[in-house]
Chain A
Amino acid sequence: MEIFLQQIINGLVQGSVYALVALGYTMVYGILGLINFAHGEVVMVGAMLALSALTAMIGWGLSPLLALPLSLILAMAGCMLLGYGIERIAYRPLRHAPRLAPLITAIGVSIVLQNLAMMIWGREYHAFPQLIANQSHHIAGAIINDIQIIIIIMALVIMLALMAVVHRTRLGRAMRAVAENQHAAQLMGVDVNRVISVTFMLGSALAAIAGLMVSVNYGLAHYYMGFLLGLKAFTAAVLGGIGNLRGAMLGGLLLGLIESLGAGYIGDLTGGFMGSQYQDVFAFFVLIAVLVFRPSGLLGERLAERA
């Protein structure tokens, strides 16, 4: 039972991160019908930027409680700029090209970002400085620490804020109009290009937050961390129903739980044949299962048909 509870906690923490990244995929998909393959790398860049900023600020003697939010803001700003640039360079010129084209440029962008990051930050794992006294709390035999609590709460707050933006503000209305019908939105005076840019920037800002969260949680950052994280967050988005914001959150949390419970119990399930090193395969099988049985995802509508 303790194991079960512990895995639930771990799953929720991991799931919150997936949900934040999945939101980025889903927002872009909702508006452009495009899978932004490079999104995972934006998460990585966010983590790396935050790490560099943090290390520098602590070196200047700044208090960690000040350095942490400052470096988060810096990372968010950097990622927003990056997201804006990616859209302008790799996607916008191809908006009317065959579908294959933006997928290929997206892969190109991922590779470029990954290798640039490797040149800048090196191949090694970077330890994330321990900044706050990270106290552990025992609940019914399971352990949860401060950082994990902060991650869950922060993710929740951010998601609620995003929902408010999308449903309550002018910008949100414009986003929904563009998602519904780009042409009609344009006719109604919405600046479609601006909305798309803003969407990319918003998604990238969330990615930066997620990047910082993962690195703080594991105490590590690495140039390759975005790849698998991106893949899983995409799975989460599909699981929830791609294009659907609530779906991304639900899918993220669910995937986190599936993964951590799966990793916790796979040994028992397979009679010791497979261990927790197979944790990363769950997401893949979830993805396949969703695509086979419910391609529209849990909360998604039927995939739009157009002719």
Chain B
Amino acid sequence: MNKFLNNKIIYFVVLAAVLLLPFATDALLGRGWVRIVDFAMLYIMLALGLNIVVGYAGLLDLGYIAFFAVGAYCYALTGSPHLATAFPMLFPDGLHLSFWIVLPMAALLAGGFGVLLGAPTLRLRGDYLAIVTLGFGEIIRIFMNNLNAPVNLTNGPQGISRIDPIQVAGVSLNATQEVFGITLPSVHLYFYLFLSFTVLVVFVSHRLEKSRIGRAWMAIREDEIAASSMGINTRNLKLLAFAMGAMFGGVSGTLFAGFQGFVSPESFSLMESVMVLCMVVLGGMGNIYGVILGGLMLALLPEVLRHSVVPLQQAMFGKTVIDPESLRMLLFGTALIVVMLYRPAGLWPSRVRRRELDTDEVAP
């Protein structure tokens, strides 16, 4: 058998499967599940962003969802009628900036917050970063909840709704569209948009991993003192990792706001940060494919639980004793402990593939 040909076949099969995924899901499980898959893609992007911080550079960021929130609120504010309530004179109809203009701005803003937060902490021991990010996640939520008075900026706990749908080449993704005679419902359109972004994020992660920068990050992760003794400016490189992770978070956040059309502080709780962390840890810190696997598994888990645990309990006790939400968090917490104790490299450790190949090739 020709190994090269084999790889190519596998590659095309995977590609076709991914491209057909929304149709298959739609046919087999219903349209609601396509939406769930869309959300899973968002989580995968988030997890890949966090993977740069945790997996490559070994920095524990416990408030990662805050950067997601920054991105989401960026687009929610500038892409909805909401600013009309805050500044009726300035924006009588709201701002309604194009998604594609907000996207880079949100990424930069999230990255900026990352730098602001990382600069004071990254020269200290890693634990401080963990705590500070944990606090930051909470602070952002306090601001989102309370910045509705005296000027109504965030609309408080109610959140901001009626966010403009994302448009690609003038076509709104919120309506069913015909492309080459194929009918694509909105959730399918978003799937392909998110897929493109995910591919981009995977590409960026992959290139970074195999670069001088990526190696320096991993050196810091493995042994910071040795890394600095080899001439690596550890503070700057940690800051870079942290800021890049934050940017990924910001990008996912804008996508989320456009997709959902609605944002509120509730979506950005600590539990979400923990969930993303869990995806990275469970899948395998530092390994892109492991992280994708982790993201997919954990994004689908709540749905699976909802559809299994509730009926099961109903059948057994006649009522819901443990709600699926807390069961999910319980599972996440347990998974973090068990994985770190028994399988610290995750379900899909990053070196397996490398050792199998065992060639002397460096850059692709």
Contacts and interface: CB of A to CB of B under 8 A. Distances in A.
- Are A and B physically bound partners? yes
Interface of A: 34-35, 37, 89-90, 93-94, 97-105, 107-116, 118-119, 227-228, 231, 234-235, 238, 272-275, 277-278, 280-281, 283-284, 287-288, 291-292, 295, 303, 307
Given A107-B277, A110-B333, A115-B333, A100 B60 contact: yes
A100 B326 contact: no
A266 B126 CA distance: 32
Interface in B139-163: 139, 142-143, 145-146, 150
Contacts of B270: 227
B126 A284 contact: no
B136 interface: yes
A90 B332 CA distance: 15
B344 A107 contact: no
B341 A98 contact: no
> Most chain-A Cβ atoms within 10 A of its Cβ — which of B134, B143, B146, B337?
B337
Contacts of A235: 135
Contact of A231 (B135, B336, B344): B135
30 contacts: A90-B337, A97-B340, A99-B125, A100-B60, A103-B126, A104-B281, A105-B336, A108-B332, A114-B333, A115-B333, A118-B326, A119-B330, A227-B138, A231-B134, A235-B135, A278-B142, A280-B138, A280-B142, A281-B143, A283-B135, A284-B136, A284-B138, A287-B131, A287-B135, A288-B120, A288-B132, A291-B120, A291-B121, A291-B128, A291-B132
A99 B333 contact: no
A105 B126 contact: no
Contacts of A281: 139, 142-143
Contacts of A114: 329, 333
Contacts of A35: 127, 130-131
Nearest to B334: A112
B21 interface: no
A108 B333 CA distance: 4
Nearest to B338: A108
Which 10 interchain pairs have the tightest Cβ spacing? A108-B336, A111-B333, A112-B333, A108-B337, A292-B120, A284-B135, A35-B127, A115-B330, A115-B329, A108-B333
A300 B221 CA distance: 27
B261 interface: no
Contact of B132 (A109, A116, A275, A287): A287
Interface string B36-73: 00000000000000000010001010100000000000
Contact of B138 (A101, A228, A234, A275): A228
A104 B282 CA distance: 11
Contacts of B127: 34-35, 99, 103
B322 A119 contact: yes
A99 B344 CA distance: 12
Nearest to B280: A104
A35 B311 CA distance: 41
A109 B142 contact: no
B130 A111 contact: no
Contacts of A115: 326, 329-330, 333
B132 A99 contact: no
A277 B142 contact: yes
Contact of B344 (A97, A227, A283): A97
Given A107-B336, A283-B135, A303 B124 contact: yes
A94 B336 contact: no
B165 to A, nearest CB: 33
Contacts of A272: 150
Q: Which of B135, B139, B334 has the most CB of A within 10 A?
A: B135
For chain B, the bracket of interface size reads 35 or more
Contacts of B58: 98-100
Interface in B237-279: 270-271, 274, 277
A116 B331 CA distance: 11
Contacts of A107: 62, 274, 277, 333, 336
A303 B150 contact: no
Contacts of B126: 99-100, 103
Contact of A112 (B121, B330, B340, B341): B330
B168 interface: no
B335 interface: yes
Given A284-B139, A291-B128, A307-B225, A108 B335 contact: yes
Interface in B289-346: 322, 326, 329-330, 332-337, 340-341, 344
Given A108-B335, A272-B150, A277-B146, A101 B135 contact: no
Given A35-B127, A37-B130, 7 more contacts: A35-B130, A98-B58, A98-B344, A100-B126, A107-B62, A119-B322, A119-B330
Contacts of A111: 271, 274, 329-330, 332-333, 336
Contacts of A280: 138-139, 142
B337 A103 contact: no
A107 B277 CA distance: 10
A303 B336 contact: no
A35 B132 CA distance: 12
Contact of B124 (A102, A234, A283, A291): A291
Contacts of A119: 322, 326, 330
Contacts of B134: 231
B176 to A, nearest CB: 40
A104 B139 contact: no
A280 B277 CA distance: 25
Contacts of B150: 272-273
Nearest to B62: A107
B217 to A, nearest CB: 13
Given A100-B60, A107-B274, A231-B134, A94 B146 contact: no
B23 to A, nearest CB: 37
